[in-house]
Structure 1
């Protein structure tokens, strides 16, 4: 007897009680007919280990188990999505990167860390988004679950891989949402040959529209700073799709790729998609 292939789980990484993040991840697992796998990692080697400091004798593992138990109680009230839970003694960055190998997507909250902790690598969302094998949703605090109606795909001369484009067209097409394909070009580059950039965007949209004829696409050519324009677009979008750099750097000395900047500053959930993504 041949069983139908199992959809890989949506993995959500939590660091504490985060019902809003759990609800958001649950909505995508339900949309994709996938299990939801809740992952919590703890380690005294982790820069976030102060979450477990206690004067009452309670162990770090006991406190971590409470996080998992609270998540289970909350999710069981939401609906019939198959649930999995994983408690790990290790740094969240390494655990989630490993989990992403067998996931449909990874969902994490935005990083809320000081500049000093950011410098020493305390940004879990940034690390996972830049190294995951699967698309990574980075969800701002306070995001509400609602019908998906507006998706923005950001592309530019350094960020035009098939993976994020495919993800955006597929997601918008399935949801019946409008897809805004925003091609951002630095002003000086645009002024050198405006017709070329417009023609390139038209060809790209026509190519992908033929593969996803149900997608409601609204292309736009924007002149300006790529990072700033992407963040501005996030203020009116429900979901922002960006590509991941092929070779993510590990320091703060040479500036940020657009995906890293949008992950930090976006006003809506961001999906960082590997260039080689295939559904």
Structure 2
């Protein structure tokens, strides 16, 4: 049985769009949805007495956010089991911890900061959750047609075949649930083509193209048969991986990438391709850990 889906909500329009998307995803998966609102301010507010009209504005706002999100979810899918939690801690910390028991965590591409009205671009909560969560993380972004499943296509980026299994399996399952096509993309580059007026020897191009196609076949061979109903298109594309994935995102309902996390002096970090798609994808992005 699949585990519950968690969605972070903070009252912003972007997070409410994420709630809508998470409701549809939970219905597709047949799992409960848990709405989580977390704020470090709660640990201070909870120590202050607040009764009737004297309650603080922060407390009133806090109670309104999850109630609004739950009501919105019930309106969209009355039969879906929806619960909510208010947690007195940093949002990224809370969502990362809660990810250990979730099938996936859904977040919006932007959100409100701790100061009312302060909008934070992707790079704070969403990036931190994507870099540290135990479960897959889905960032809801892009145009309405992409978010609403208008293209009937899921895309997955494949780098090294031996590291792609988790992302490929997630993408195939997502395509199966949507009745969509899967487009598997691997980008390759020929060093001879990176210099001015490069030689265009057919054999060099053919070698790299063939090797890229073999990587796609290898990544899909063991997993695709478990999702036989899904039509799979293989695309070996010459160029930068981030450019190839951003291009395919324009006509996709979901873009899936593996999380190659690297340990740095400031902790776990996502690679440059992950950053590029999280910031610029035209459709929702699922980051699936494989380390």
Q: Give the alignment's TM-score, normalised by structure 1.
A: 0.81
Over 3 Å counting, the alpha-carbon distance change for 1:178 and 1:14 in structure 2 is same
**Contact 1:10/1:107, CA 8 A, preserved across alignment:** yes
Unaligned runs of 5+ in 1: 47-55
1:185 matched to 2:188? The reply is yes
Deviates more, 1:224-233 or 1:242-251: 242-251
2:254 corresponds to which residue?
A: 239
Q: How big is the shift at 1:57?
A: 7.0
Partners of 2:25 and 2:81 lie apart in 1 by 12
**Contact 1:23/1:75, CA 8 A, preserved across alignment:** yes
Q: How big is the shift at 1:258?
A: 1.2
1:15 corresponds to which residue?
A: 10
Corresponding residue to 2:29 among 32, 39, 49: 32
Structure having the higher Rg: 2
2:73 corresponds to which residue?
A: 75
Unaligned runs of 5+ in 2: 44-53, 114-118, 194-203
1:87 corresponds to which residue?
A: 86
What secondary structure is seen at the aligned counterpart in 1 of 2:167?
A: helix
**Contact 1:10/1:34, CA 8 A, preserved across alignment:** yes
What secondary structure is seen at the aligned counterpart in 1 of 2:75?
A: coil
**Contact 2:160/2:215, CA 8 A, preserved across alignment:** no
Corresponding residue to 1:169 among 167, 172, 194: 172
**Contact 2:108/2:141, CA 8 A, preserved across alignment:** yes
**Contact 1:130/1:248, CA 8 A, preserved across alignment:** no
Q: Give the alignment's TM-score, normalised by structure 2.
A: 0.78
1:224 matched to 2:219? The reply is no
What secondary structure is seen at the aligned counterpart in 2 of 1:77?
A: helix
1:136 corresponds to which residue?
A: 137
Partners of 2:265 and 2:162 lie apart in 1 by 19
What secondary structure is seen at the aligned counterpart in 2 of 1:130?
A: helix
Q: How big is the shift at 1:187?
A: 3.5
Q: How big is the shift at 1:227?
A: 1.4
Partners of 1:16 and 1:189 lie apart in 2 by 51
Over 3 Å counting, the alpha-carbon distance change for 1:200 and 1:77 in structure 2 is closer
Taking the TM superposition and a 5 Å limit, the aligned residue runs for 1:55-134 are 58-78=56-76, 79-111=78-110, 123-134=124-135
Over 3 Å counting, the alpha-carbon distance change for 1:87 and 1:105 in structure 2 is same
CA RMSD across the alignment: 3.2
1:197 matched to 2:215? The reply is no
Q: Please identify which structure carries the higher helix content.
A: 2
Over 3 Å counting, the alpha-carbon distance change for 1:248 and 1:187 in structure 2 is farther
Q: How big is the shift at 1:125?
A: 0.8
1:155 matched to 2:153? The reply is no
Q: How big is the shift at 1:145?
A: 2.9
Partners of 2:233 and 2:37 lie apart in 1 by 39
